[in-house]
Amino acid sequence: MSFGRCASLVLALAVSACASSGETSSGAGGQTAARAARGNSTLITPAELEQHQGESAYRVIESLHGRWLQPNTGTRIPASLFAGSSFARVVVDGTDLGGLSELYRLFSENIETLRYFSSRDAAIKYSTSYPGGVIEVSTRGLGR
């Protein structure tokens, strides 16, 4: 791939990332309290996890946002730019644990939040090594 094509691709990725940044998942931007408590399509909140006590993270996601577990076939980034599975990777407290099967080992009572990053958002936060996206797990700390 020529330098010009690479530069064009990088510019296109930057523009698309900026265009998607208007959607916040942190509760900012005028979300109602009910919507914030309920979560959105990229976040599973502590309140939602409480309703699924004793269940694995896989079962919680399957119940609330099953599409996170599906292969990502709609990426706009050419597959030749990165190698890897089209399924999301599991990152727990900043550490890449591997594939979706890791979610069976994590239980709702030990999790603070679950967040899904599309391949585009995962490329921005982590790297282009995540063509299937990332399911980010934040666990409950000992002091919480």
* Residue 57's CATH number: 2.170.130
Q: Please indicate, yes or no, if residue 51 is contained in any of the structural domains.
A: yes
- For residue 89, CA distances in Å to 64, 68, 94, 97, 117 come to 18, 10, 12, 8, 10
Residue 72: what pLDDT? 79
pLDDT band, residue 79 (cuts 50/70/90): very low
> How many domains is the chain built from?
1
Residue 133: what pLDDT? 94
From the DSSP assignment, how many helices (H) and strands (E) are in the chain? 5, 5
Q: Please indicate, yes or no, if residue 10 is contained in any of the structural domains.
A: no
Residue 132: what pLDDT? 92
Q: Please indicate, yes or no, if residue 11 is contained in any of the structural domains.
A: no
- Residue pLDDT, tens place only, 3-49: 455 445 444 444 444 444 444 444 444 444 444 444 458 999 999 99
Q: Please indicate, yes or no, if residue 73 is contained in any of the structural domains.
A: yes
DSSP H or E segment with residue 35: helix 33-38
Predicted TM-score (pTM) of the model is 0.66
Q: Please indicate, yes or no, if residue 14 is contained in any of the structural domains.
A: no
pLDDT band, residue 2 (cuts 50/70/90): low
Domain that holds residue 100: 32-139
